[in-house]
Structure 1
């Protein structure tokens, strides 16, 4: 007989590993542990109470059975949603119409530059570039103030046709401005829309000479001497230097990007 200061102890002769103990003590199918009814015990009343109160929900020990469904079965195909390639311009099956100011790039832009206002503008592979030759620096000032431009009749048609082509692929047109006989380029603009051949503007020095108007956005305004561009030869103009260009002369993509880099880095 053992004694304990905290509780009385009973004698227990049965070995917990013996057949006698296992036959008298078992867990019922209901999850309740039954204690042996015979034999001496070494167990405190507190322990007996804990054992007798032991119970559990045996349904918690049952693994969840997930029915297997063949991916080739008709039920699987009928319950599966059709896979549709993601298009950022299509939401809930409806095409989203976006304006120029809401243009969403579906691929990361290839080049990014900063305008004189501090805003960034992107140049992608489908961009096109043209040289604009102005007869007067005052016309350039008027363009900056009013965000419009007008070229010759032939130049307007060329730019309008190019704008239709790049708009079909969500591209942009960039124009490099230079005043005749100035010996430098003075800025970069983006053509924002088609030419309105029915409109004229009175902001030009020779008001009656220019027919048609189209909106532009000035991106860079700075005078860069021709010597910084003379090494750029235009294969679309008999490999002449870009400084020897006529109005609305088109430039290849790599030449246009090179000119943007020169404009951007020039101090």
Structure 2
């Protein structure tokens, strides 16, 4: 676990990341993502993430995801996007084949951390400065907030 946290810390200190919260409606799909290293979201979100990945030269500016499964009241891991989106392909093992397009990712940290650990992390890029725990799928968390809130350290709880 500490080795995983160190890897995430390293990514945060060596680059200016783009960070997004990703939500899953299915714990089964989350576990398939862990096993196969892929993820899918809505067409609009896939298009956004593909554009972010391709425009930010991710070798220099990684795209990171904070994953949460809806209804679990915890965050489950941190992953890094490692490919653009294959927009017209389907990953055939999802519980429901409703999402077209998928991309590859690398899991940096896998650990269930209760939402209350993150309630103090406020998002200044939202009108109400809501907590990261209230984010919707594919909402961006500003890199400055991730660092200043000690988001990575909160995974060590």
Q: 1:260 aligns with which of 132, 152, 156?
A: 152
Question: Which of the two has higher C-alpha Rg?
Answer: 1
Q: 2:77 aligns with which of 182, 187, 196?
A: 187
Q: Report whether the alignment pairs 1:246 with 2:139.
A: no
- Cα 1:210–1:226 change in 2 (3 A) is same
Question: Which secondary structure does the structure 2 equivalent of 1:243 belong to?
Answer: helix
Q: Report whether the alignment pairs 1:172 with 2:62.
A: yes
Number of the residue aligned with 2:33: 143
**Considering only aligned residues, what root-mean-square deviation do their CA atoms show, in Å?**
1.9
Question: Which secondary structure does the structure 2 equivalent of 1:216 belong to?
Answer: strand
TM score, norm. by length of structure 1: 0.53
Q: 1:130 aligns with which of 20, 32, 54?
A: 20
How far apart, in 2, do the equivalents of 1:137 and 1:159 lie?
22
TM-aligned CA deviation for residue 133 of structure 1: 0.7
Question: Which secondary structure does the structure 2 equivalent of 1:232 belong to?
Answer: coil
Q: Report whether the alignment pairs 1:235 with 2:124.
A: yes
How far apart, in 1, do the equivalents of 2:58 and 2:116 lie?
36
Count of aligned residue pairs for this structure pair: 151
Cα deviation 1:218-261 (Å, max 9, x = unaligned): 11111100000001110112200000001110001122232222
TM-aligned CA deviation for residue 125 of structure 1: 4.1
Number of the residue aligned with 1:212: 101
TM score, norm. by length of structure 2: 0.88
Instruction: Confirm or deny: 8 A CA contact 2:15 2:60 kept in the other structure.
Output: no
Instruction: Confirm or deny: 8 A CA contact 1:131 1:178 kept in the other structure.
Output: yes
Structure having the larger proportion of residues in helix: 2
- Cα 1:190–1:169 change in 2 (3 A) is closer
TM-aligned CA deviation for residue 152 of structure 1: 0.7
TM-aligned CA deviation for residue 164 of structure 1: 1.7
Q: 2:88 aligns with which of 183, 187, 198?
A: 198
Unaligned runs of 5+ in 2: none
